[in-house]
Amino acid sequence: MEKIINIIANELEVKKFQVENAVKLIDEGNTIPFIARYRKEATGGLSDEQLRVLDERLKYLRNLEERKQEIIKSIESQGKLTDEILKQTELATTLAEVEDIYRPYKQKKKTRATVAKAKGLEPLADIIFEQTETKDILEIAKNFVNIDTLPEEDKNNKEKVVASPEDAISGALDIIAENISDNAEFRKKIKKTCYREGTISTKAVNPEEKSNYEMYYDFEELVYKIPSHRILAINRGEKEEFLKVSINKKEDKILYNIERAIIKGNTQFTEMLKTTILDSFKRLIEPSIDREIRSDLTEKAEEKAIKVFSQNAKQLLLGAPIKGKTVMGFDPAYRTGCKIAVIDETGKVLDYTTIYPTAPQNDVETSKKELLKLIKKDKIDIISIGNGTASRESESFVADMLKDADHRVDYIIVSEAGASVYSASDLATKEYPDINVSIRGAISIARRLQDPLAELVKIDPKAIGVGQYQHDVNQKKLSESLTSVVEDAVNKVGVDVNTATPSLLSYISGINSSIAKNIVKYRDENGKLKSRKELLKVPKLGKVAFEQCAGFLRIFDGENPLEVTAVHPESYKVTEELLKMLGFKPEDLRDKEKVQKLKEQLKQINITEMSQKLEIGELTLKDIIEELSKPGRDPREDMPKPILKQDILKIEDLKEGMVLQGTVRNVIDFGAFIDIGVKYDGLVHISEMSEKFIKNPSEIVSVGDIVKVKVISIDVSRHKIALSMKTV
């Protein structure tokens, strides 16, 4: 364990005590959000992102140690364990290295070498490999010919017969070829050479065939340089049978290095060993090394893609909510009509209908009257238009219709990813049992503008649609990563325990779906919860779960004003003491003027001195001060607000050099897609993001950011818009 802690501390560039304490807390069953928020003193303030990486590495390294013990035990049981094997195993840092060490001792399926061993040809293989025998090898090999000594029934069995000296030598060389292939040191060096100097090459299966992979029809790039998005694109092209993929390597150099390690001067064995080394490389080593390199590249590319997807999803989930507004959700479509749903500032459905302003009906006038009537009746502030099929036609209709509205109404295009999945889900059926499936999508589009987090947690994170190649990566790893992202986002914001849905509550630290349902059931039967302590009356929510969840659940208009903040119940006493020292009471947190005065006094506090007086850690005290300065404030209010619009812009209206404001819709390896208000998102390539060199677009932008961009090229026929963020 000591070794694991040292490795993680070095990788994360943190102190050993931080890792030790974090591991202890994880092993005790504490959740990552709880440790990140309420155990900062123990971990030295490790963030949720650092703790997630720590947890992942902890699992991997424990698994690695377990596998090392398994292979040592297996080799020992064969009576072949040596100090050298123990040392190699101890020094191995990856599972692949450990498996290479174990390869010669693994029980093999039938191979040419195992057949040769069964014929008793191992001593002959040793003689050839040693290269010291001066007697003619054909003479020596005669001693291994067994056809005359075999029982009659075995004389036609090729797997038992050694018919001639040449046959014996051939079998012995098969054993040597497999031994060379199983040599962990050779494999390690070959892989190193391939990674440093090898190239990945792709050719078209049919060069005449048109596809999305034409740039890869005759493509080559150094293995160590190829970016992850290209790996995943090549993998997909190969899977769809448009591409043939190979790894090109310095074969002469590889063969020379193996020969130098094996061949001892010029003997009768030299040429046969050279031939055997080539056979071992071509038949056994190369196919397996190629598979390992491709697998390794894919794994790294998937990790990168999952990381990008997770970062984007987190930003989307933490998008600024638009509160206190009545919103019309507009779910665009053609033949089946555009679905409309109006929700008030609390998310309650006021009205819904279907209109047909798009093809084939094109009933613009009736649709216009219908919407203007709803705008007036429900005092609508914003129209939230989904960005799917018929979105831009619907936007054009809305922009034109709003000119006749009796008061100012803005509109916004929002991502409708996952809305249709949600509409048909069991959850949507429970929420809106009397509302048609098709209308539920419009409700979701409206509500995700009011509160993106509360609405998006109802959808499988993979359906949120911000990423690259999310369907090509390891789905289990993607799912785990996205679940962690949703947990971190939900716990960062906190949840109103009296209004939250079970799907939102189930992401809170310490609460599973069963407890989440019990909280809602308790609420329905007993009315609003008045204090966090009351949570202990909820079935299955015991003291352990209470400790994990209490600080993340908010109770507005409850008995204790501290419960609108993230101050944990374990810190109430010390918080009340702090307030008393400053001449305030918890009740003052309900008075805006007093909160303002308190905020000024909190700024003057000497953290070190006060933490000693209160006998509390400095990091915990800082968090308490931050919460008292903004009781009940949503941390998402600091995020960029969505751009509201009143008129439409077409791709034909764009001109080179035009400067626009846009919203970052997606961040990928090679840049970011920006919604600038026309039908197609523009691309800011990574090279156009900054005057400085940047490794990754996420260093500059995140999903949801509002950015200024300059149009640098427009291809109307291909619907491509190139943008720049340099010197805008």
Q: List Cα–Cα distances, 350 to 270, 377, 660, in angstroms.
A: 88, 10, 36
Residues 6+ apart with CB under 8 A from 600: none
Q: What is the rounded (10 degree) CA torsion for 151, 152, 155, 159?
A: -50
pLDDT score recorded for residue 319? 87
**Looking at domain 112-304, which of 3.40.710.10, 1.10.150.530, 1.10.287.3510, 1.10.3500.10 is its CATH number?**
1.10.3500.10
Name the phi and psi angles at 109, rounded to 5.
Answer: -75, 175
Both tokens assigned to 617: 């850690």
Whether residue 322 contacts residue 450, with contact meaning beta carbons closer than 8 Å, is answered with yes
**3-class SS letters over 432-465:** CCCCCHHHHHHHHHHHHHHCHHHHHCCCCHHHHC
Give the three-class secondary structure for 312: helix
CATH superfamily of 513-638: Tex RuvX-like domain-like (1.10.150.310)
Query: Taking a C-beta distance cutoff of 8 angstroms, is the pair 495, 553 a contact?
Result: yes
Residue-wise pLDDT tens digits, 361-412: 999 999 999 999 999 999 999 999 998 888 878 988 999 999 999 999 999 9
CATH number 1.10.10.650 given to 2-105: yes
The strands making up 199-204's β-sheet, listed across from edge to edge, are 218-222, 199-204, 243-248
Selection from 701, 725, 698, 700 nearest residue 711 by Cα:
725
Q: Is 667 exposed, middle or buried (0-12, 13-18, 19+ CB in 10 A)?
A: buried
Q: Cα angle vertex 614, ends 610, 617, to 5°? A: 80
Question: Which letter, b or e, does each residue of 304-326 get, where b requires 16 or more Cβ atoms within 10 Å of its Cβ?
Answer: bbbebbbbbbbbbbbbebbeebb
Is the pLDDT reported for residue 155 higher than 90?
A: no
The span from the CA of 728 to the CA of 713, in Å, is: 15
Strands 243-248 and 218-222: unpaired
Residues 6+ apart with CB under 8 A from 157: none
Nearest to 70 by CA among 53, 95, 36: 95
Are both 513-638 and 651-724 of the same fold?
Answer: no
Residue type, 207: P
Angstrom distance (rounded) from CA 41 to CA 19: 12
- Whether the predicted pLDDT of 476 surpasses 80: yes
- Give the residue among 501, 466, 502 at the shortest CA–CA distance from 485: 466
- Is it true that the peptide bond before 33 is cis, omega within 30 degrees of 0? no
Does the pLDDT at position 620 exceed 70?
yes
Query: pLDDT tens-digit profile of 14-37?
Result: 999 999 999 999 999 999 999 999
Nearest to 245 by CA among 210, 284, 208, 297: 297
CATH ID of 327-450, from 1.20.120.430, 3.20.20.80, 3.40.190.10, 3.30.420.140: 3.30.420.140
**pLDDT at residue number 465:** 62
Rounded Cα distance between 49 and 70, Å, is 32
Query: In the CATH scheme, what is the code of domain 651-724?
Result: 2.40.50.140
pLDDT at 175: 96
Nearest to 412 by CA among 387, 435, 447: 387
Round the average pLDDT of the chain to a whole number and report it: 92
pLDDT, tens only, 567-611: 999 999 999 999 999 999 999 999 999 999 999 999 999 999 999
Span 238-273, pLDDT tens digits: 999 999 999 999 999 999 999 999 999 899 999 999
What is the SS3 assignment for 220?
strand
Quick one: pLDDT band at residue 728, thresholds 50, 70, 90? Answer: low
With contact defined as beta carbons under 8 Å apart, do 686 and 658 qualify? Answer: no
Query: Which of 148-157, 673-682, 718-727 shows the lowest mean pLDDT across its residues?
Result: 148-157
Torsion of CA 419, 423, 425, 427, to 10 degrees: 100
As a whole number of angstroms, the distance between CA 597 and CA 246 comes to: 69
Per-residue confidence (pLDDT) for residue 400, from 0 to 100: 92
Amino acid symbol at 59: K
Residue 353, CA atoms < 13 Å, CB-side half-sphere = 15
Helix (H) or strand (E) holding 385: strand 382-386
Provide mean pLDDT across the span 534-555.
96
Q: Are 440 and 640 in contact (CB under 8 A)?
A: no
Q: What is the pLDDT of residues 492-535, one digit of tens each?
A: 999 999 989 898 999 999 999 999 999 999 999 999 999 999 99
| 433, 435, 437, 441 alpha-carbon torsion, rounded to 10° | -110
Q: What mean pLDDT do residues 71-78 have? A: 94
* 331 strand-pairing partners: 339
User: Rounded to an integer, what distance in angstroms lies between the CA atom of residue 628 and that of residue 375?
Assistant: 40
DSSP 8-state assignment for residue 353: E
Which position has the token pair 């054009």? Answer: 396
- Using alpha carbons, list the distances in angstroms from residue 59 to 16, 39, 56, 306, 449: 17, 21, 5, 18, 38
pLDDT digit string, tens, across residues 295-336? 999 999 998 888 888 888 888 888 889 988 999 999 999 999
Q: What is the pLDDT of residues 160-184, one digit of tens each?
A: 888 899 999 999 999 999 999 999 8
**Residue 128: per-residue pLDDT:** 96
- Is the pLDDT at 546 greater than 70, yes or no? yes
Question: What does the pLDDT read at residue 648?
Answer: 64
Burial tier of 367 (Cβ tally within 10 Å: 0-12, 13-18, 19+) = buried
Mean pLDDT of 663-677: 87
Region label for 13, one of left (φ > 0), alpha (ψ between -120 and 50) or beta (otherwise): left
**DSSP of 266-292:** S-TTHHHHHHHHHHIIIIIIHHHHHHH
Instruction: Say if CB 71 and CB 89 are below 8 A apart.
Output: yes
pLDDT at 431: 87
Please give the helix or strand (H or E) that residue 662 lies within, else none: strand 659-668
Quick one: three-class SS letters along 545-596?
HHHHHHHHEECCCCCCHHHHCCCCHHHHHHHHHHHHHCCCCHHHHHCHHHHH
Q: How far is residue 351's CA from residue 376's CA, in Å, rounded to a whole number?
A: 12
Spatial separation of the C-alpha atoms in residues 88 and 101, rounded to whole Å: 8
426 membership: H or E segment, kind and range: helix 426-431
What average pLDDT does range 620-646 have in this prediction? 86
**Residue 634 token pair:** 């949503």
Distance from C-alpha of 592 to C-alpha of 598, rounded to nearest angstrom: 10
Does residue 625 register a pLDDT over 80? yes
Tokens of 24: 């202890």
Please give the pLDDT value at position 154: 74
**Interstrand relation of 382-386 and 410-414 (parallel, antiparallel or unpaired):** parallel
- In the predicted model, what is the mean pLDDT of residues 458-487? 80
Residue 186's nearest CA partner among 265, 108, 253, 264 is: 253
Better pLDDT: 481 or 380: 380
User: What length does the chain have?
Assistant: 728
Q: 44: left (phi > 0), else alpha (psi -120 to 50), else beta?
A: left
> What local confidence, expressed as pLDDT, does residue 295 receive?
93
- How far apart CA 536 and CA 522 sit, in angstroms, is 11
What DSSP string describes 20-80? HHHHHHHHTT--HHHHHHH-HHHHTS--HHHHHHHHHHHHHHHHHHHHHHHHHHHHHHTT-
For residue 711, what are the β-bridge partners? 723
**Segments making up each domain of the chain, as ranges:** 2-105, 112-304, 327-450, 513-638, 651-724
Copy the structure tokens of residue 115. Answer: 């057949």
